[in-house]
């Protein structure tokens, strides 16, 4: 099984006809994802890569029964796109867009409190349930169906971890890149909770980075409620304080959000923490 998305997910692409939208929609379709159409305001009624284009998300929901959306619209319009998807009743919204102003995301989070949608991202690689549905920009070929859940703030570091797992024969139930911004939809703890409740997930890889308190929150939750082995890694052990390391949220603000502090609390909470990102797969093989 899997979490959030599977072969029955009916996916639409917001920002469908743009370069990014077109390229990744094609890749997603090639992977076998059920992409049922897309939304580009003003281009409704036409066809794009053999799929219908709609003016609004609610039309796409009405006519195609869409329940998952992936967003490729530029930063200035991304908050609006997320809220439109939530308002139309989309269950899982995946925002790939990087560079959304923090103020917009604060508003989006407030808006989502009154909706039933789950937001993944923004500034993330998306979510994949191997061999069923790829809703994101990750290279599909490195994933393999299995029972390890992966949650990570990073894109390529997720691929690194997944690649190690796959090569050791450990497939994945679902892998989620939750994004590296200061304000994101699904948190590390929420993703871990979904994996803990998924009967087909046997172990969890949790990858974090400097900045914020999400890993500590997840670790404390795991200590209380965990029933599966968790392997953890925090990127940025050598990052200097006060400097933004690529991701908008990757900045050490105090003594609680350094890699060392996060690793310490994760260890205390029973997570199998690795110091080297090269050991993520091997450690999972040992503890599973």
Partner 1 sequence: MNIHEYQAKEILKKYGVAVQNGFVAETPEQAAEAALKVKNEYQSDWCVIKAQIHAGGRGKGKIKGSEQRGVQVAKSPEQAKEIAQNLLGGTLVTLQTGAAGKVVNKVLVAQDVFYPGESEPKEYYMSVLLDRGKKENVIIYTTEGGMDIEEVAENHPEKIFREWIDPTTGLQAFQARKIAFNLGLEGKAFKEMVAFVTALYKAYDDTDSAMFEINPVLKTSDNRIIAVDAKVNLDDNALYRHKDYADLRDLAEEDPTEVEAGEHNLNFVKLDGNVGCMVNGAGLAMATMDIIKLSGGEPANFLDVGGTANAQTVEAGFRIIMSDPGVKAILINIFGGIVRCDRVANGVVEAYRKIGNIHIPIIVRLQGTNAEEAKKIIDDSGLKVFSAIALKDAADIVKRVLSETSSDQ
Interface ranges with partner 1 (CB under 8 A) = 27, 75-76, 99-103, 106-107, 109-110, 137-139, 141-142, 152-160, 163-164, 180, 182-183, 207, 209-213, 217, 233, 235-240, 243-250, 254, 259, 275-279
* Under 8 Å between Cβ of 213 and 267: no
Angle subtended by helix axes 280-287 and 156-167, to nearest 10: 50
Indicate the SS3 state at residue 105. helix
Q: Of the residues 24, 48, 247, 272, which is catalytic?
A: 247
* 272 is an active site residue: no
The residue among 85, 116, 64 whose CA lies nearest residue 14 is 85
Q: How far is the CB of 29 from partner 1 (least distance, A)?
A: 15
For the beta carbon of residue 28, count every other beta carbon within 10 angstroms: 23
Compute the distance between CA of residue 269 and CA of residue 226 in angstroms, rounded to an integer: 10
Q: Which is nearer to partner 1, 18 or 139 (CB)?
A: 139
Burial class (CB in 10 A: 0-12, 13-18, 19+), 22: middle
Question: What's the min distance (Å) between Cβ of 58 and partner 1?
Answer: 23
Q: Which residues contact 181 (CB under 8 A, 6 or more apart)?
A: 100, 102, 105, 121, 122, 123, 247, 248, 249
Nearer to partner 1, 103 or 267 (CB): 103
Q: Which two tokens stand for residue 125?
A: 């690689």
Give min distance, CB of 240 to partner 1, in A. Answer: 7
* Residue closer to partner 1, measured from CB, 15 or 211: 211
193: tokens are 């909770």
Using an 8 Å Cβ cutoff, are 152 and 138 in contact?
A: no
- CB closer to partner 1, 190 vs 209: 209
- Residue 37 vs 125, nearer CB to partner 1: 125
State the minimum distance, in angstroms, from the CB of residue 262 to partner 1. 13
CB of residue 105 to partner 1, shortest distance in Å = 8
Residues acting as catalytic residues: 247
């Amino acid at each position: 099984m899997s979490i959030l998305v599977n072969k029955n997910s009916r996916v639409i692409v917001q920002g469908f006809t743009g370069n990014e939208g077109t390229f990744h929609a094609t890749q997603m379709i090639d992977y076998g994802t059920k992409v049922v159409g897309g939304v580009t305001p003003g281009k409704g009624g036409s066809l794009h890569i053999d799929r219908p284009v709609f003016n609004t998300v609610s039309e796409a929901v009405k006519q195609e029964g869409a329940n998952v959306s992936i967003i490729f619209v530029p930063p200035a319009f991304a908050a609006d796109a997320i809220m439109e998807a939530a308002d139309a009743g989309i269950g899982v919204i995946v925002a790939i867009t990087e560079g959304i102003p923090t103020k917009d995301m604060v508003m989006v989070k407030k808006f989502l409190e009154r909706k039933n949608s789950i937001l993944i991202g923004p500034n993330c690689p998306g979510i994949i349930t191997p061999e069923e549905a790829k809703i994101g920009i990750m290279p599909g070929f490195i994933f393999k169906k299995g029972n390890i859940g992966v949650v990570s703030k990073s894109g390529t570091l997720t691929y690194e971890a997944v690649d190690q797992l796959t090569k050791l024969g450990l497939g994945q139930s679902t892998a989620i890149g939750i994004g590296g911004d200061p304000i994101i939809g699904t948190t590390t703890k929420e993703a871990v909770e979904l994996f803990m409740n998924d009967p087909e997930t046997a172990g969890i890889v949790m990858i974090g980075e400097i900045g914020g308190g999400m890993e500590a929150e997840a670790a404390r939750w795991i200590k209380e409620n965990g029933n599966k082995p968790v392997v953890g890694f925090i990127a940025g052990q050598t990052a200097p304080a006060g400097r933004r390391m690529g991701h908008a949220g990757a900045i050490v603000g105090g003594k609680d959000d350094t890699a060392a502090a996060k690793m310490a609390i994760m260890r205390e909470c029973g997570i199998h923490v690795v110091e080297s990102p090269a050991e993520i797969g091997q450690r999972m093989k040992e503890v599973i």
